[in-house]
Amino acid sequence: VTTACFEPSLDYVVAKVPRWDLRKFSTVDQAVGSCMKSVGEVMAIGRTFEETIQKALRMVDESCNGFEAERFDQELMHRGVASTEEPVKAELQKPSPTRIWSIAKAFELGMSVEDVHELTKIDRWFLSKLHHIHCLKQSLKSMDYQELSKNKALLRETKRCGFADRQIAKELRARDEGPSSPSALQPEDDSLGAETYAGGR
């Protein structure tokens, strides 16, 4: 007998990320606390945490491709601050609208999951997932289109972890010939529906 309170096991992950627009209000403190300051939120659904958070970050800020350090570089440039380890560590220690991208910058600067955990107190599970995205990005940087086309396992893992085609193309090493987008690597199939790279529908 199935009870009314029965709930099937979930095979997907949901991330809700608040949308901030604090630059419009010059007198507002940029620090995030218990006071409601967001102007909305986005919700992303995927089969892995990495996929879901990258989708959410692309939706919440269209100027970024996902979990990437470049978005935090833009923020530092806007503030007129040099992109060094000191402002990154300062950002990590307090909740802010751009903190997630400062984590990406910290990994780019060589900080470990444990280093970031000590500064943010964010659970290591989440940080290890974000670090995995960073490691995939570094792997892409060492390849060009032709090399990636032969490494199906890496391509599948990047897509499983939510990398957009434009994100992959941006990270690949430049090459004189060949398609400029990794979308050409995907088979043409009109029956994909809601299927994901992690499997299932």
Q: What is the pLDDT of residues 81-103, one digit of tens each?
A: 888 899 999 999 998 888 999 99
On whether the CB atoms of residues 59 and 42 are closer than 8 A, the answer is yes
Residue 2, pLDDT score = 55
On whether the CB atoms of residues 69 and 105 are closer than 8 A, the answer is yes
Q: What is the pLDDT of residues 52-63, one digit of tens each?
A: 999 999 998 888
Residue 26, pLDDT score = 57
Separation between Cα atoms, residue 129 and residue 131, nearest integer Å: 5
- In this model, does residue 3 exceed pLDDT 90? no
What pTM did the predictor assign? 0.77
